[in-house]
Amino acid sequence: MKKISKTIIIVASFIAVVVLMSFVIDSEMPTIKNASTKDSIASVKAFHEVYKVLMSPRCMNCHPSGDIPLQGDDSHAHAMLPKRGVDGKGVYAMKCGNCHQSANTEGPGRPPGAPNWHLPPANMRMVFQGKSAHDLAKQIANPQTNGNKNVKQLLAHADDSLVKWGWEPGEGRTLPPLTYNEFKKAWITWIENGAYAPGK
């Protein structure tokens, strides 16, 4: 009798642990299934979709090859040439936050906004402009060039407020070529399958 109740306790606590663990795993990665699957073909295919978004003006305008942000669908140099600065937030009187608020300012030609509007910092410029799909995939997958992001942080970057702003850019600005959900799906597929880079 004693032995049976002991067995029941052991079995019950084992079940409890398993149930608890599945909750932990679930809450960490709710949208991802088969996290261990690696498929280079699916990964590269997904990155080609991601790349279309990265190179669209809403994203590229904050990822310029120089130290001045870009504006408009033709990605021309930002009026009054505000500079990146060490932290990406501008210099002297031309701080991004002076004009860019935490939300879009109403009306055409008015400053767009999202929390903490700025460029990547000078020591990790995260350039998209002019980069091939091969080079950009390598850059983004590498913690030494992506802002020290591990896989989990990289996945979470799809929910970054500056990224999400791309789909709510304010009056007169076109949207990226994929919907947000299509982008996020391609982003996760690319990373979960090993974050492979397309060939040169």
Q: Which residues bind to ligand HEC, rule: CB under 6 A?
A: 53-54, 57-59, 61-63, 69, 71-72, 78, 80, 82, 84, 88, 90, 94, 96, 98-100, 109-112, 117-120, 126, 139-140, 145-147, 157, 162-163, 165-166, 169, 173, 176
Number of CB atoms found within 10 A of residue 158's CB = 18
At 86, the amino acid letter reads V
Question: How far is 66 from 83, CA to CA, in rounded Å?
Answer: 9
Question: How far is 45 from 47, CA to CA, in rounded Å?
Answer: 5
Output the CA torsion 73→76→82→88 (10° steps). Answer: 60
Nearer to ligand HEC (CB atom), residue 139 or residue 198: 139
The nearest distance, CB 96 to ligand HEC, in angstroms, is 3
Nearer to ligand HEC (CB atom), residue 39 or residue 139: 139
Nearer to ligand HEC (CB atom), residue 100 or residue 193: 100
Longest dimension (CA), the chain: 84
Q: Which residue has the tokens 């509007």?
A: 117
The nearest distance, CB 36 to ligand HEC, in angstroms, is 23
Nearer to ligand HEC (CB atom), residue 31 or residue 98: 98
